[in-house]
Amino acid sequence: MKTDPQTRIEELRKLIKEHDYNYFVLAQPTISDYQYDQLFTELVQLEKQFPNLITPDSPTQRVGSDITNEFKPVQHKIPMLSLSNSYSEEELIAFDRRVRESLPENESVEYVCELKIDGVSVSLRYVNGILETGATRGDGTTGEEITNNIKTIRTIPLSIKPKQKFNVSDLEVRGEIYMELDQFNKLNEERELNGEKTFANPRNSTAGTIKLLDPKQVARRPLKSFTYYLFSELEELTSHLSNLELLKELGFCVNENYRLCKSIDQVINFCKEWEDKRDKLPYEIDGVVVKVNSLRHQKILGSIAKSPRWAIAFKFKAKQARTKLHKITWQVGRTGTLTPVAELEPVFLAGSTISRATLHNFDEINRKDIREGDWVIIEKGGDVIPKVVSVDIENRTPGLKAVIPPTKCPVCHSKLSQPENEVAIYCENYSCLAQVKGRITHFASRGAMDIVGLGDSLINLFVDLGYLKSYADIYDLKDNKDELIKIERLGEKSISNLLNAIEESKKRPFEKVLFALGIRYVGAGAAKKLAEHFLSIDNLIKAKIEEIEEVSEIGPSISNSIKRFFSDYHNTQIIDRLKKVGLTFALEKRNKISEKLKDKTFVLTGTLSSMSREDAKEKIISNGGVVVSSVSKNTDFVVVGETPGSKFDKAQKLGIKIISEEEFLDMIGNK
């Protein structure tokens, strides 16, 4: 008797899922690739015939056909906290002491040590056993949904293996997505052959891949995953070790190199062992994660604003290599800063071949006595740009001359200057092409105006051809469309896409626009604080230095830089042009939730346990209060957390009212 389609489809799905688990998770395939392909092809054909029988967890749904134009924000039910770092045995011993002092006396403490995979954190939510949402860590509170991309990763199950007495109606699994070294090198070779920019390291390639808009492209990249934590209100686990074992039983890929340690000495031995063995792994690790094993103990220890008290990361020392420094060249940044760069004999280090390394500034060259022709030690850790850490003086060739700082800009040959009390040397020519290109690149970057398609190569080309002299000119490119489409390797389609992306960038909020302007020392975080405080660019331009410094965490270097920027005619002229093309230079004034703290001025100091400083600031502002960065006689309250700084002492001297975190929450009725 012929099997009915639904029964055969269910049978095929079960078989394919088992073979996927054997191949991708256990690395123990039980059938040939050809046999697997036959099963998969049969399933695809049956689902085409009977599309009403397709389910979200079918193996055929690992590569979605829809292209997402943007990633939706996802609020994490439980914050994805970052870990505190340690770099020595002493710091691990101090962590162990803090743990024991915080737990009931005479209770033994065990730790689980796991390898710290150098990848990208991910949250996976399953509802009724089916993968519903995959999200990035984001800022720890809110991530971005990347479900369609997550589905392409074969080590992540689309549905969970049922387990006796375990209810899978709603649970969250956390893990790390990564790329193995040989696959990373192969990907970079392909990109180089295609004339594309290569990735700096496997972590960068992973982060770039999971944020691609087309899941089909993600499926072509060899991503894998390890999971390390499970949250479920319906399952009572007693230890982190049992958590890991349960994850394996449910069909997740768990890194096998974990160990239960009965003492901190065993933890230290594990860390030493893997620091020596890390190069033998097929993937990159940058340390060891140490977790208190008992979940009851974890609950007692709790968390501070940004990290759990029951876990710590032991970071390995950065990898080093010895090579020859042939020459020192000078790069000009967007603010005119000259940075010395060491041109090196190429050497393989931490997953990539290094031929250049930063020397930071001329003072650094002097301090380390670095000379052209020296043998040097370079270092690269994680995403850190390679740097020269020391010179092999004993093997220096006699007669090498000390480096002399440049007197003229290497790009435009203009006069250089060095402000008093600064180590940096600057090119004073605002029209220097290197600065122009740098400012435009920053303006168009993802964290700023996010103009898709306007990368380094195109910016360099448009500046060299005279189409861009400032970032305001970006919005005039549409007037030159007919000329631009005639440029070799561009064409009408790519130019149309670029012009659409430029038009789309006009929707960016004020804080992004403010950051995009490229004011020295004003990063993305400072831009957000300034935008929320002053509400418009006009208010910020008119503000006095002392008013700017009243914004939380904004000090003299930022306030003086802001005033210098807006006093420059070039900059105000560009802002006027950007206003005319429709960029956003103001925020709508927020409605106050209440006036409980009306006209009251607060200073925050120390680490708060139930919220971050930003959260506390938000609560104060939304209740009508004001947050300033320094204590003065005009301060009404100083909110004190753990390990307060000098602000606490100053408040005591001035007789300012000091309140605890709990008292502050009582004031706003939010305890």
By annotation, the residues acting in catalysis are 116
User: Where does residue 491 fall: left (phi above 0), alpha (psi -120 to 50 degrees), or beta otherwise?
Assistant: left
Report the Cα 561 to chain-centroid distance in Å.
Answer: 26
Contact (CB, 8 A) for 383 and 204: yes
Nearest to 541 by CA among 580, 507, 496, 586: 586
**170-179 sheet: strands from edge to edge:** 130-136, 120-127, 170-179, 223-231
For every residue of 435-462, which 3-state class applies, written as one string?
A: HHHHHHHHHHCCCCCCCCCCCHHHHHHH
Residues in the chain: 671
Q: Tell me the angle at which helices 264-277 and 89-102 cross, rounded to the nearest 10 degrees.
A: 150
User: Is-contact 173 122, C-beta < 8 A?
Assistant: no
Calpha distance 276→255 (Å, rounded): 18
CA distance 312 to 607: 17
Distance from C-alpha of 54 to C-alpha of 64, rounded to nearest angstrom: 13
- Counting Cα atoms < 13 Å in the Cβ hemisphere of 358 gives 10
CB 277 within 8 Å of CB 67: no
Q: Return d(Cα 66, Cα 68) in angstroms, integer.
A: 6
Q: How far is Cα 601 from Cα 620, in angstroms, rounded to an integer?
A: 9
Which residues, other chains included, contact 70 with Cβ-Cβ below 8 Å and sequence gap of 6+? none
Show the DSSP H helices in 74-201 as ranges: 89-102, 147-150, 181-193
